[in-house]
Each structure stands twice: as C-alpha cells, then as structure tokens.
Structure 1
Amino acid sequence: MRETVISSGKTPIAVRDFGGSGRPLLLLHGAGGNLAQMTALAEHLRPAHRVVTVDLRGHGRSGDGEWRWDEVLADLAAVADDLALASPAVVGVSLGGMVATLWAQRHPECPGAVSLDGNPTLGRPEQLAGMDPKQAATELAKLRAVFDGMAAMIAEPLGADQVAAALAGQRALAQRYGAAPEDWVAAFERNLVPCDDGRSRLRPGPELTGQLREAMESLDLIPAYRDIRCPLLLVLATEDLPEQQAFHELYAAYRRANAERLACLHNPALQVLHLAGASHAMVAERPQEIATLITGFLS
C-alpha cells in the first residue's frame, strides 16, 4: 500500500494505492469524509482489483479548490493518467457515488461504475412523493435548520477537549458497526488541520461545505441515468440512519420519489438495487456484502 499526492491536475489530490494485479478501481468517499474511511471496503475489494482510494478535493490531504463537478471529474482523470490506470472502474459512496455516476455519463468506455446511495441532498418539495405539501415544507425547513446547525458547528475551531470527545464518538460509532476503532479515529484525524492558537479545524472548510451543499441540492442525476452507456449499478438504502429517524416520513417520501423516477427509465446499462435492511451507512454496516456486490457486478 502506497500513499502519494497527484499534482498533475489543477488541484493536488492525495491517493492511497492498495496495489494488486486486478482491474483498476477508483474508490471515492462521501462528503466530509476522506480515503481512510474506505479502508475496510478497499481491503475486501483488493483480491479482485487494484484499488486506489482518493481524497476528494478539499478533504483529507488533498488540496483546496472550488466544488465544480467538471473539475472534480478532471481531478479523477489526472489520478488515472498519473497512475496509468487504463479505464478504471469507479465506485463511490454518497457524494462519491454522485461523482461515480457523472463519471459513467462522461466515460462510456468505463468498464463499470457503482453508486452506493449517491443521491442528491434532500431539500426540495419536488423530491418527495405522497406527502402533504404543507407538511413537506415544514419538515424540509426543520431539516435545513439541522443542516445549518451542523455546518455552523463544524466551522468552529475545536479545542483539545472537543477533539478528545469527537474521537470518543468515533470509537463509539465503530463499535456500533463492529468496525476497527483505529480506522475510524484515523479517518477523523485525517480531516483535522492545526490552527495557530493550538486548536484544530475540520476539513472541508466552511466555504467548500457551502459549495457542496448547493451542488448536491441542485444536482439532478436522472439525465445521467437515462444517458449512460457504461454499466452503472445504483445501490439504494431502504432504512433510516438513527439520525434520520426524526424525519422518517420525509426520507420515506424521498425514497418513494426516487423509486418512481427510476422506474420510468428504460436504460439497459443501469441496474438499480434497493438493498433490504441497509441505511446510508451501508459500507460501514456490511462491507463484505457490499464488496461482493461490487465485484460481482464489475465481473
């Protein structure tokens, strides 16, 4: 396993190359994450693929840059060219799944792409099905307030006690999913940046976080699902995260609307799997099963 920074594009991109003689595969994390979060899945995929995990721009140890979908895709192209990855498969979770879908749309020669619950952020009434419009508007306003509060909290520098509490929280989450605590701690620490006053800040910073929210809320992937010509597997969650349960009706309506829109598409290159019992954290919940789905699809 080798870690390096690809500097041939506009933004330096940190990658971890797991090696292997199989077909190349780029593995992408979600918003606010980094490549260290993908380690367990990468290890399960390595027997069949040469896996390269990536810190997306503004995350982990990659450079900063505005969040524009075209430029993010150019970052990945620079990684593939620099590492001589001929026609890599692209697999991503959440934000990374959206990027994988857009890559599949732009690269018909791609041998396959997988989006693990890579859905645009819930934020618009037209994304919902079967909810009273007034109730939907009220619930969406509450959800946006939660997101605003989270963004404001993340933007503030963290003192030593806050960092220690956050690391304890990561260990607790690892225990929830039966994962290695050291992997979750390493992933959190990878996004920490020291400040001059002895405190730390989390990446991505407030500016990029705002750009990400806007980009994910405004993105419509239906044209990509309709137009792709390379094989794309879309694996969708069917359950709420614990943090989503307060908005259960909202997320259920969102899942219904997605299912209805996808059912209207007739593209043989697209496969959709509603994974029973899985939440948005499916990679943490069931890494071996997810890896088996990916390798089976790409084979």
Structure 2
Amino acid sequence: MPDVMIRSAEVPIAAHDSGGPGVPLLLLHGAGGNLANVAALARALRPGHRVVSVDLRGHGRSGDGPWHWDAVLDDLAAVADELGLERPAVVGMSLGGMLATLWAARHPDCPGAVSLDGNPTPARPEDLAGMEPERAAVELARLREVFAGMSAALARPLSPDEVTAAVAGQRALAQRYDSVPDDWVMAFHRNLVTVEGLTRLRPGPELTEQLRVAMASLDLLPAYRAVRSPLLLVLATEDMPEQRPFADLYAAHRRGIAQRLDSVRDNPALRVVHLDGASHAMLAERPGELAGIVADFLAGAASRPRPPGT
C-alpha cells in the first residue's frame, strides 16, 4: 500500500497503513529512523492487528517541526483520528518507545502500549547507579563528544560514492542480523533528501540537537507512576558493539533504570521484561520473538480487568 500523508497534524505526517484485522496499532521507529525500520515487525504483527507505521516529524517523508513531546503526541493523535483508528495500541522502539509510554500515560483508555528499550541515552551522573560522580561526569563528556562527532558527520552532504557505500553497509548489516536487505536499504533511502543538488540524511542537525536535549531532560518516572492503561517495557540487557567502549557507563545506566522502576513496581498497569542477551538493537536481533511478546501482551491486556476510571 502507498504512504498516506496526514495533513491535519501540525506538520505533514507520513504513515503506512498495512491493514489487518483486530485492534488498530500505531508502530513507531527510533531516533534517526523511519517507518521502514519497523517493517519486519509490522509484517509479523499484521495477522492480529491493523498496523499503521509512522514517520515521526523530521524523519522519513514527514514534515519538519520543532521537537516537543506534546506536539509529537498530537501528531500521532491526528494520524489516529484521520485514519479512523479508535483507541489504538501503541508500540515503539527506542524514541518510539518513549512516545508509547507518554501516549499510555496521556490516554488511560489505550488498550495497551509497548516500549522496546525506550529510555533516553545516559545524560546525568545521578542516573548512573554504582558509578562515582567524578567518573560518571568524565564518561558522559566522552560520550557527548562521540555523539557530537556523529551529528557533525551526518550534517554534511553525501557524495554519490558515499551513498553507494552506505547502501552497501546497510546490506551488510542486514546480513549480520539475518534480516531482509530491502528493508534496510529502503530505510536508508527514506531518510535521504536532496535540496539544490546536495543530498543529506534526515533528521537534520537542528532536530538532532533538539532530540538530544529533549531526551536528556525527559523523566519517564512520572509517566510510569501515572499510567493506567497496560504498559509493557522490554529492556535490553547487553551492549551493542558501538556501546562497548562505554561498557561501564551503559551498565550503570541499566542499573539506574532498574532501580527507578523498582520504585513504581506497585503500579499494576506496568509490566517490565528484561530480555536476556538482547541489546538496544533488539528489533534487528530478534524481531520474531519481539512480535510474539508484543502480540501476547496485547492479547492479555485485552482480557485483564481495567483499573477504575479507565
């Protein structure tokens, strides 16, 4: 099916309606991605759901706009309204998982939401459990330098040879994860934009910096406390290869997340799964298993009694 462009939102939002029976489901990608990144999960969930995947603002073929959490949630609400998705479930990866959590807190009648490792990147020493503050500050500064270098590299135009090399790299990654190569290549091309003869990747440097600031300041704990619709958090337990130079930092980050979640374990709407052996790239590593986890959770959520007032 072709893309649908939702024009009732603050900025135009591109979506892909895969059809399917059952409860409608909004499927959200991570930062720097687009709806093609979740194509395999969409296919796996389609037998039980009407799956609508979305390009978040500033990504893929959606329009540009400032990154404010409430504004992006309004984008998603516009998609649901325009496509007639009544009380959709929401499933998101990384940045999309953060949005799934915020959606669930905003919509107590949501039939279920799933966050696939949807946590902000390490940003504050106080969130790094078991790491001395001085060392935490040093490691965080080192991580910021890496991110700044990546942002600078992504901001510059790509030559035709660099595009060709990047496509080959996407095919190699697909092979590494035993994935469908066309999904990876499509995801790369979907974020390319050519203006005045210059080809760049989306999101641009301005939105990338807005995303960094927004995620660094985001505290999901109030949402975990407040949520009344069923919410599943699927958390990584291992580092991606790119994270291994910061292994101690990310281990402390995961410990900090676990400690904060302990403080809201009495919320019956919240369920947490630590996925053994999975990294933040879990969607590429184990798409079939994740589809089963999501489908089982949403089916179970539909049969569980809801808290009063929802």
Fold-level match, TM-score > 0.5? yes
CA RMSD of aligned residues (A): 0.8
The match for 2:204 is 205
Distance 2:122 2:135 in 1: 15
Distance 2:97 2:158 in 1: 30
1:143 aligns with 2:129: no
Identity of aligned residues (%): 68
Amino acid at match of 1:162: E
1:279 aligns with 2:274: no
The match for 1:96 is 96
Amino acid at match of 1:241: M
Q: What is the total number of aligned residue pairs between the two structures?
A: 298
Amino acid at match of 1:173: L
The match for 1:65 is 65
The match for 1:43 is 43
Write out per-residue CA displacement over residues 109-135 of structure 1, whole angstroms, 9 at most, x where no aligned residue.
000000000001211101101112221
Contact kept? 1:35, 1:53, Cα under 8 Å: yes
The match for 2:186 is 186
Distance 2:261 2:189 in 1: 38
1:238 aligns with 2:237: yes
Write out per-residue CA displacement over residues 145-171 of structure 1, whole angstroms, 9 at most, x where no aligned residue.
000000000010101111111111111
Distance 2:41 2:76 in 1: 19
TM-score, normalised via structure 1 length: 0.98
1:253-268 matches, within 5 Å, as 253-265=252-264, 266-268=266-268
1:154 aligns with 2:154: yes
Q: Secondary structure at the match of 1:114?
A: strand
Shift of 1:2: 3.8
Write out per-residue CA displacement over residues 38-57 of structure 1, whole angstroms, 9 at most, x where no aligned residue.
10000000001000000000
Distance 2:199 2:2 in 1: 27
Structure 1 runs of 4+ with >4 Å offset: none
Contact kept? 2:126, 2:133, Cα under 8 Å: no
Amino acid at match of 1:28: L
Shift of 1:22: 1.4
Distance 1:24 1:50 in 2: 5
Distance 1:134 1:207 in 2: 30
Structure 2 unpaired stretches of 5+: 300-310
Contact kept? 1:2, 1:18, Cα under 8 Å: no
The match for 2:303 is none
Distance 1:88 1:230 in 2: 12
Amino acid at match of 2:103: W
The match for 1:294 is 294
Q: Secondary structure at the match of 2:169?
A: helix
Distance 1:137 1:72 in 2: 31
Distance 2:126 2:132 in 1: 12
The match for 2:54 is 54
Q: Secondary structure at the match of 1:5?
A: strand
